[in-house]
A = this chain, B = another copy of it.
């Protein structure tokens, strides 16, 4: 029997309520607290993590979730290229923001992990909106508590650094080194795409590769093309549980100026869409979109780009969720 999502969990249409009207929730979905009476019906939960204590240079991603919610009211419901309507496939909701504490980094990481533990316990697949990239670590601590998982990681940076400022281990440049060390990620099932930017000494790349991480620099991506790279990526992550982490600085700063550590020479927004669409069929168990920093983007375009990318990932995630009880499907393109 075909599972059919409940209308309660559908977005409000811009043909009925203008896009600038109403209190903005992610994708104009209902906002459900974790104690809401219908929380058990939710299959995909969009969660804000307004936190940037791991940022080593230009702060601002703490303001990301609010801007992303604002711009997300301009998203409609069907993917024009793949025909996927994620809201028709699974019950989606905005679960609000994870609890954080701007005055204490470690306490915040614990609060975030606690929040996600509850989300995971409810059987909800999380689609997170950062926040800086350090948020991925507590999310993975909740999501990969039982066994290491794979990851497709779009980023200009490896985020595999060891430490900063004389030994500090937790910054937005270190989450995946920690995650591998903690056994949350299986490095043989991790692939990083788009790496570029001037380097300190390249130790992060050496370490990652020594662990088995596949690192695809931007030049290699441009040379091989999306299809070849994503075929390799699918091979690397295989059928097992996989996370998708998307740092907005993967995309060129002409498209995404609102981020803390831009690197020139990146792909276009279309190339990003193309890559994500090629993830369709991967066994995604969660995803995040991070490093959108509104104070550094006077036009707001990075927020718009961010929610557009979130929508693309949600299409893949919805297909992955729905496949689990329905078997593989063909998108209704």
Residues of chain A whose beta carbon lies under 8 Å from any beta carbon of chain B: 13-25, 31, 48, 50, 52-60, 62-63, 65-66, 69-70, 74-81, 94, 96-97, 99-105, 107, 161, 164-166, 168, 170-171, 195-202, 217-219, 222, 252-255, 257-258, 261-266, 268-270, 273, 295-301, 304-305, 308-309, 311
Contacts and interface: CB of A to CB of B under 8 A. Distances in A.
Contacts of A78: 198-202
A311 B58 contact: no
Contact of A164 (B58, B103, B166): B103
Given A15-B200, A199-B76, A304-B262, A102 B25 contact: no
Contacts of A297: 299
Contact of A197 (B57, B80, B168): B80
A189 to B, nearest CB: 24
A59 B56 contact: no
A15 B204 CA distance: 13
Nearest to A264: B269
28 contacts: A14-B56, A15-B165, A17-B99, A18-B50, A18-B57, A18-B62, A20-B58, A21-B62, A22-B96, A23-B69, A23-B96, A24-B66, A55-B102, A56-B102, A59-B60, A75-B198, A77-B200, A78-B198, A78-B200, A78-B201, A80-B217, A101-B168, A253-B305, A254-B255, A254-B301, A264-B270, A296-B299, A298-B298
A165 to B, nearest CB: 4
Contact of A252 (B55, B257, B264, B270): B270
Contacts of A311: 198
Contact of A56 (B103, B107, B219): B103
Contacts of A261: 74
B218 A270 contact: yes
Nearest to A134: B103
A304 B77 CA distance: 33
Given A254-B254, A254-B255, 4 more contacts: A21-B65, A102-B165, A103-B170, A266-B269
Nearest to A18: B102
A59 B78 CA distance: 25
A21 B270 CA distance: 31
Nearest to A311: B198
Contacts of A97: 21-23
A103 B269 contact: no
Nearest to A17: B99
Contacts of A299: 257-258, 296-299
A101 B166 contact: yes
Nearest to A70: B66
B103 A165 contact: yes
